[in-house]
Structure 1
Amino acid sequence: MTSKTALLTHADCLAHVTPDGHPEQVARLEHVLYALQPLEVARITAPLAADDDILRIHPASYLAELRRASPSEGHRALDADTWMSPGSLDAAFRGAGAMVRAVDMVLGGEAPNAFAAVRPPGHHAETDTPMGFCLFGNAALGVKHALDHHGLNRVAVVDFDVHHGNGTQDLLWDEPRALLISSQQIPLFPGTGRASETGAHDNILNLPLPPESGGAHMRREYQHKALPRLRDFAPQLIIISAGFDAHADDPLAQLNWSTEDFAWLTAEICEIAADVCQGRVVSTLEGGYDLNALSASVRAHVQELMKAAT
């Protein structure tokens, strides 16, 4: 096994082009990759997911509808926020493929942990509904792949994107082998993520955070609620939906986290992973829309993964 964190990405993820002014833009990934360029990670080409991978979480009718909607030129709106260009479907298949490959690498002993630098993001995509910039539920796919292909019994997701991962919640609602822990600003799009939403098997923990609360409030919530729950679950793999739009500089929300807060939270997750699952962590990029804050926070996140890998 290499001692290096695996970084999975593909140029196809730069070919998902949204209309001018859209926050989920090509420049997001360009800035992330530039920030990560100096780091000594194992660089892995993200494969295309197979249809069978996607069908672990989405029905065949959904995949067929996305293929029908994929434009040959220009842009096509799937809803007010979610767009496709000619390169979008391949980008989404690369994002899903990156998650499958990352899970395989970490569980197969090829890498201690991994980060998928991909777009479009995934955690808003519900079972048969694209939304919130997302087409495929990458984090939930990683869970199902680990459970059903690798035979794990317990997989946890920690989603710290500022927007609630309603798609991941929808896809894992009735999955007793999975624990979803999600912190998000409330009220905010998509309007879900209240503490009363606990899953069919008490397998979901939502941490609503009020607007204008900062990193100190977040740290208390995680220390008192989320991290003990994660440790008690003793997952065999931890998947992170790594959104960085809770940063104080982000234009789409009103939390006030710092780059250091993302580093702290990543380190705390990795510490639990070291204790309960041999450090096995797979992280995938979700939101983050201030380019400088995004790139700095992703770099801090990956640096913590690297520290945990040594």
Structure 2
Amino acid sequence: MTTALITHPDCLLHVTPDGHPERVARLNALLPALEGRDLLRVSAPLAAEDDLLLAHPLAHVDAIRDAIPRAGWRQLDADTYLSPGSLQAALRAAGGAVRAVDMVLGGEADNAFVACRPPGHHAETAQPMGFCFFGNVAIAAKHALDRHGLARVAIVDFDVHHGNGTQDLVQGDPRVLFVSTHEMPLYPGTGDPQDHGPHGTVENIALRQGTGGTVYRDILARQILPRVRDFAPELLLISAGFDAHADDPLAGLRLVEADFAHITRELCALAAGICGGRVVSCLEGGYDLEALAASGAAHVDELIAAGGAG
């Protein structure tokens, strides 16, 4: 089998104002960097309303629908905008995550990377924020649990920003482990290491500005991998944000492409031992275009290598 790459041209329809970091150019930089690789290329389907309702109330879904402008933009908060094509793009992103879970759990692929936008890990239960509208990874986790009958799912989020939305959406479910590494202090201001959620299934690991690969690799080995191993998930989901890169304009961590490759390699090796290598990764942040392309390619190369090894 192989690695599935799930994306769709509709993800380019979410258009943000000039100068906005979460822009169409992100996918236009990333996808060409993945050309020539042995990938099973799949079109992301539109998420059904029932998919969104796995994580969000209907009122939230309706509010996003009703806010879509006929032209131009509608601003939802300081940095979150809707354009006429935003709902279509967001439905592809959530639908791509659901399809990835189906493919990996159904044996169609060893693992999968969902290269869609807008991202999702800041979208809370009933609040779009931080460039995000629906909790793509949280929806994928609930889909795996509620529809595929899994008992435990783990999410590892290595985006430079805390995945406040993902935590909000999954912390009430003891079947989900959520592990987040993030720079602190930084937007959105959540992710206190003392916050373990109501069931003790949240692991927030705060990193100081300037943290580089050597320190991160030690944290991975000493904290992240053992925590996931002890939870023994049947599926590993990754929120793959590449804005922890040293060149990213929105934060101050110092990771490079080789670090993202190492993180991915180690997570895949762990998954091989505990859940048959079943990994689904979804794109989150990453706003320097060259760093995003190079880091995303390094990430996917390790997914391919892990699939081939399986």
3-state SS in 1 of match to 2:127: coil
2:137 — aligned with what? Answer: 139
Identify unmatched segments of 5+ residues in structure 1. none
TM alignment of 1:7-46, pairs within 5 A? 7-46=5-44
1:293 to 291, 294, 301: 291
**Cα separation, 1, equivalents of 2:34 and 2:99:** 20
**Cα separation, 2, equivalents of 1:137 and 1:273:** 23
Letter in 1 for 2:224: A
Residue 303 of structure 1, CA deviation? 0.3
**Cα separation, 1, equivalents of 2:35 and 2:17:** 27
Letter in 2 for 1:130: P
Residue 222 of structure 1, CA deviation? 1.4
> What TM-score do the two structures reach when normalised by structure 2?
0.99
**Cα separation, 2, equivalents of 1:233 and 1:148:** 18
1:129 to 127, 130, 153: 127
Identify unmatched segments of 5+ residues in structure 2. none
Residue 173 of structure 1, CA deviation? 1.3
**Cα separation, 1, equivalents of 2:115 and 2:204:** 25
1:281 to 279, 282, 286: 279
Residue 123 of structure 1, CA deviation? 0.1
**Cα separation, 1, equivalents of 2:58 and 2:203:** 29
**Would you say how many aligned residue pairs link Structure 1 and Structure 2?**
308
TM alignment of 1:162-241, pairs within 5 A? 162-241=160-239
**Residues 254-290 of structure 1, C-alpha deviation per residue, up to 9 Å, x if partnerless?**
0000100000000000001000001000000000000
Runs of 4+ in 1 over 4 A off after TM superposition: none
Letter in 2 for 1:95: A
Identity among equivalent positions (%) equals 60
> What TM-score do the two structures reach when normalised by structure 1?
0.99
**Cα separation, 2, equivalents of 1:128 and 1:214:** 35
**Cα separation, 2, equivalents of 1:199 and 1:260:** 32
**Residues 153-176 of structure 1, C-alpha deviation per residue, up to 9 Å, x if partnerless?**
000000000000000000011110
Letter in 1 for 2:32: Y
Residue 213 of structure 1, CA deviation? 1.2
**Residues 199-256 of structure 1, C-alpha deviation per residue, up to 9 Å, x if partnerless?**
1100000110000111111111111111101111111000000000000000000000
1:257 — aligned with what? Answer: 255
Residue 39 of structure 1, CA deviation? 1.1
**Residues 127-171 of structure 1, C-alpha deviation per residue, up to 9 Å, x if partnerless?**
000000000000100100000000000000000000000000000
Residue 57 of structure 1, CA deviation? 0.4
1:160 — aligned with what? Answer: 158
TM alignment of 1:68-83, pairs within 5 A? 68-83=66-81
**Cα separation, 2, equivalents of 1:38 and 1:189:** 36
**Residues 33-77 of structure 1, C-alpha deviation per residue, up to 9 Å, x if partnerless?**
110112110000000000000001000000111111001111110
Query: In the alignment, is residue 94 of structure 1 matched against residue 124 of structure 2?
Result: no
3-state SS in 1 of match to 2:59: helix
**Cα separation, 1, equivalents of 2:273 and 2:159:** 24
**Cα separation, 2, equivalents of 1:270 and 1:225:** 16
**Residues 75-95 of structure 1, C-alpha deviation per residue, up to 9 Å, x if partnerless?**
110101100100000000000
CA RMSD, aligned part only? 0.5
